[in-house]
Structure 1
Amino acid sequence: MFKYYFLLGVRSLRRNPALTALMVLTLAIGVAASVSTLTILHVMSGDPIPGKSDKIFIPTMDIGPLEGYVPSERDADDQLTYIDAMNLLRSDQGVRKTGLFGTTYALEAGRADLGMLSVEGLAPSRDFFAMFGVPFKYGQPWSEDDDKKGADVVVLSRALSEKLFGEADPVGKRINLEGLPHQIVGVMDKWRMVPKFYRLIGGPGAFGVQEEFMVPLSTAIRNKSGHSGSMSCSARRAPGYQGLLDSECTWIQFYFEMNAAGERAALQNYIDNYSAEQRKLGRMKRNAPNKLYNVMEWLERQKVVGNDNRLSVWLAFGFLLLCLVNTIGLLLAKFSVRAAEVGIRRALGASRREIFQQFLIETGVVGLAGGVLGLLLAFGALALIRTQSDDLATVAHMDWTMLGATFGLSLLAAVLAGLLPTWRACQVTPAIQLKSQ
């Protein structure tokens, strides 16, 4: 019977084309508006590194002075000092660990048509690539020996490599960064983590573009590379680059990768013991709680998804509800003109349940039509949103999950809208309808 009722529903779309088109369009607009905003929220709040997000931890410590200290929920700084970052890098904790900071270099392209370029990059330690699953088109990450020596090596993004060398493999060639020759050891393939949790502080943002190059953290320090990003200094520091390294300024972002999420307590214990040792050396006098955040907790702490994003989704669903109210009115009008048909079917022996099934399946057909049109409108809306900014271009993309959600939402909306009109249709009294004919 389902197939028969479904075909009846398809045919009923042609009975009153204007009314049907208005229902489908009303439903489609409501679905498109809600799905578009929900898609953006879905991408923004998604897990950027599935399978590892509960095993990667970001430590925070409070290194501020004791004078004027008032405890608060955000005592600990979101970044580490150079001193603490280097100490943690030398520790035996985790299967991988990396410290990093952003930097901007002047690149001599060696081509008259390009001249001098300003490129945005990152200075991490070697474990960064394996920890975050960075794919390579050519070559590989620099070696552990390069990390130790602070060798002048560089990994390029695919976009920068193609800009400088076209499709050729540039591994082994040299480019000048800040006037110093660096050997290219690898070229990253197209890769974009969304949200980009490892660069939320002082960088291009959670949805910014991929870094154009990466050099070893030790190399950037040896070459006294400038820092591009956020820095917090709780006390005066000595002048010069060495003064920065010896200071209590926080500017290094740090990440541990553990074998399992269950090792969190052991890592917390290590961080607490480390802080206690530092207090004996005259540092971290506040004795504030040290904290560890896994990836999803870190995104929450940094408020990647703000209240305004959630409000937009609620408003969009409010608009969908308004569309449903209008669809209910249109379905009532559509079904009311078929009272005679229902009366005859009831007189011939059709039960109210069968009438209910027929009309509910017909509303489902309207929902399917609205879903198809709503999907097209949603794709158009997302395409328009992508033109507004680079950040929105990153998140305004529909995946298979949201594709299925579009049809599911459309069918659910149509069925909900059809419950009252269908129930009203089932209440038709056969005798009254037959007498009126």
Structure 2
Amino acid sequence: MLGYYFDLALRSCRRSKALTALVVVLMGCGVATCMISFAVFRAAAADPIPQKSHQLFVPQIDNFGPAHNWKSEPPILLSYRDAEALLHARQARRQVLIYGSKWTVLPDDARQPPFPQEGDAVSSDFFAMFDARFRYGGGWSSHADEQRAAVVVISSALNQKLFGGANSVGREINLDAHVYRIVGVLDDWEPRPRFFDVASTYYPFSHPRQLYLPFSRAIDLHKATTGQFYCSTNTVDPDLPDWNSVLRSECAWIAAWVELPARADVAHYRDWLRNYAAEQQRLGRFDWPPNVRLSDVMQWLRQDGNNVIPKSSTLSLIVSVSFLLICLVNVVGLMLARFMRRAPEIGVRRALGASRGAIYRQFLIEAAVIGLAGGLLGLLLTALGMAGIGKVFEPEIAQLTRLDASLFLLTVVVALLVTLIAALYPTWRAAHVQPAWQLKVNG
């Protein structure tokens, strides 16, 4: 019977070509618009490190107080005092401090002019914690952190620019008139977004840093942050005349991460954070109860203050889903007109013994055929839309969107489901046509 109903569906489509084409175009456009926006949103909101995102956490400590917080949330960054306390307490499997800085590279070739380069000052666990891939060499040791060693890890792009892509481990690079020994060259490692340091850049999907130097070394050199630096009034404190005052201040400017492999580790570290904040209260530094947070990667990215997921991608997805719903409403009307025009045919079939279940199956299969056609058109329009997505959204996000097998399958499934949902009421109306009335009217 399935083949018979399929044949009836094809015949019906041939008889009503204009109406069928209108439904197919509506579904194709609605589904394609929705899938393109979904692809962008999926790229922007994807887990940047799925293999261990449930093990990486951001500790937050409220050193501002309830009078200066937003919705009682602690600052997203730490003061130098708190950051150093977390690093040296070693309560986690790994702990990392990060802040962005700017350096001037002086090439060995005198014909090349000096050029600025943004980098991150990080502690030694950074590369292992975030699964950084190396082309040559590796990171530095914790001993190098303690010694404030003049070592550096550079990106493959910078290595190509300075050394022609050769193995540069052991060679030297001049940064701000200081010589640094290269200990590692990263492979094409470009985490998007830069989830581990969203505060050091105004756009988390920008290209990664080209330099990574020891955090302790950057502190010794008085390297100011190029990222966010805010005190309790959300501005730079004018009473910080020198670098030591910055380090002693309550201003927040350092990102911190900890790696906690097990649930017990998470509970232990959260207790330690509370106890640390309580100790600061007892010492008179805080005059408010402990207010701490411990968020994993995805919780961190979804926090309001981080602004990682672009609002444009979220808004476009909402608009696209709304457009698809409008298409669905229109398809309901078209399907109703299409099916009710065949009321005499339905009456004859019912009079000859066809059950309501048979009518349901016939018209739902017909709707599925139309939905499949709409899905195929939607695939074509989605592919065309993906080709020009960089003209609407940021190029960095457009590069991350993929027209993969899952998106192909989802496009067809959504088209089928939406068409079947749109056909439910028209099919119910068709199945309840009274055969006697139709025979009398058309007799």
- The question of a shared fold, defined as TM-score above 0.5 by the shorter chain, is answered with yes
1:52-92 per-position Cα deviation (integer Å, ceiling 9, x unaligned): 3333222222334x8x9477633532211222212211112
State whether structure 2 residue 317 is matched by structure 1 residue 313. Answer: yes
Q: 1:143 to 1:6 in 2, by over 3 A?
A: farther
User: Bigger CA drift: 115-124 or 310-319?
Assistant: 310-319
Secondary structure at the counterpart of residue 44 of structure 1: helix
> Aligned ranges for residues 10-409 of structure 1 at < 5 Å?
10=10, 12-64=12-64, 69=67, 73-74=71-72, 76-110=74-108, 115-234=113-232, 238-279=240-281, 281-301=283-303, 302=305, 303-305=307-309, 310-339=314-343, 341-387=345-391, 388-393=393-398, 396-398=401-403, 401-409=406-414
- Cα deviation code 1:351-383 (max 9, x no counterpart): 321222122112112112212222332343344
1:115-137: per-residue Cα shift (whole Å, max 9, x none)? 33322221111211221222223
- What is the alpha-carbon distance in structure 2 between the residues aligned to residue 320 and residue 380 of structure 1? 18
Distance 1:414 1:113 in 2: 66
Give the alignment's TM-score, normalised by structure 1. Answer: 0.87
Q: For residue 421 of structure 1, what is the aligned residue in structure 2?
A: 426
Distance in structure 2 (CA, Å) of the matches to 1:185 and 1:84: 29
Per the TM alignment, residue 233 of structure 1 is displaced from its structure 2 partner at its CA by 3.2
How has the CA–CA distance of structure 1 residues 2 and 177 changed in structure 2, closer, same or farther, with 3 Å as cutoff? farther
Change (3 A) 1:130 1:15: farther
Give the stretch that moved more between structures: 363-372 or 10-19: 10-19
Number of aligned positions between the proteins: 435
Q: Is the 8 A contact 1:332 1:421 kept in 2?
A: yes
Most deviating of 82-91 and 43-52: 43-52
CA contact (8 A) 2:99 2:200 kept: no
Given the superposition, is the C-alpha separation of residues 275 and 426 from structure 1 closer, same or farther in structure 2, using an over 3 Å criterion? closer
**Structure 2 residue identity aligned to 1:17:** K
Give deviations 1:397-422, integer Å, cap 9, x for gaps: 45555443322221111001112232
Do 1:121 and 1:211's aligned partners in 2 also have CA atoms closer than 8 Å? yes
In 2, the alpha carbon distance for the partners of 1:343 and 1:337 equals 12
Going from structure 1 to structure 2, the CA distance change for 1:336 and 1:276 (only over 3 Å counts) comes to closer
Q: Which amino acid aligns with 2:194?
A: K
Q: Deviations over 1:302-330 (max 9, x none)?
A: 35447775554333222212111222233
Query: 2-side partners of 1:159 and 1:221: how far apart?
Result: 26
Q: 1-side partners of 2:10 and 2:209: how far apart?
A: 52
Q: Which amino acid in the other structure matches residue 385 of structure 1? A: I
Rounded Cα–Cα distance in structure 1 between residues aligned with 2:194 and 2:216: 23
Matches of 2:346 and 2:105, distance apart in 1: 78
Distance 2:87 2:149 in 1: 18
Q: Is the CA contact 2:277–2:291 (under 8 Å) kept in the aligned structure 1?
A: no
Q: For 1:285 and 1:397, how far apart are their aligned partners in 2?
A: 51
**What CA distance in whole angstroms lies between the structure 2 residues aligned with 1:135 and 1:11?**
59
Within 1, Cα distance between the matches of 2:194 and 2:308? 10
Contact 2:137 2:183 in 1 (8 A): yes
* Aligned CA distance change for structure 1 residues 414 and 74 (closer, same or farther; 3 Å): same
Give structure 2 stretches of 5+ with no counterpart.
none
Q: 1: distance between equivalents of 2:382 and 2:402?
A: 10
3-state SS in 2 of match to 1:59: strand
For the structure 1 residues 181 and 11, does the alpha-carbon distance in structure 2 shift closer, same or farther, using more than 3 Å as the test?
farther
The answer to whether structure 1 residue 411 and structure 2 residue 416 are counterparts is yes
Partner Cα distance (2:327, 2:175) in 1: 58
Q: What SS does structure 2 have at the residue aligned with 1:215?
A: strand
RMSD of aligned Cα (Å): 3.1
Distance 2:417 2:73 in 1: 46
**SS of equivalent to 1:233:** coil
Aligned-partner residue type, residue 418 of structure 1: A
Q: Deviation at 1:255? A: 0.8
- Counterpart secondary structure, 1:147: helix
2:398 and 2:335 map into 1 onto residues whose CA distance is 38
Q: 1:161 to 1:336 in 2, by over 3 A?
A: farther
The 3-state SS of whatever aligns with 1:417 is helix
SS in 2 for 1:209: coil
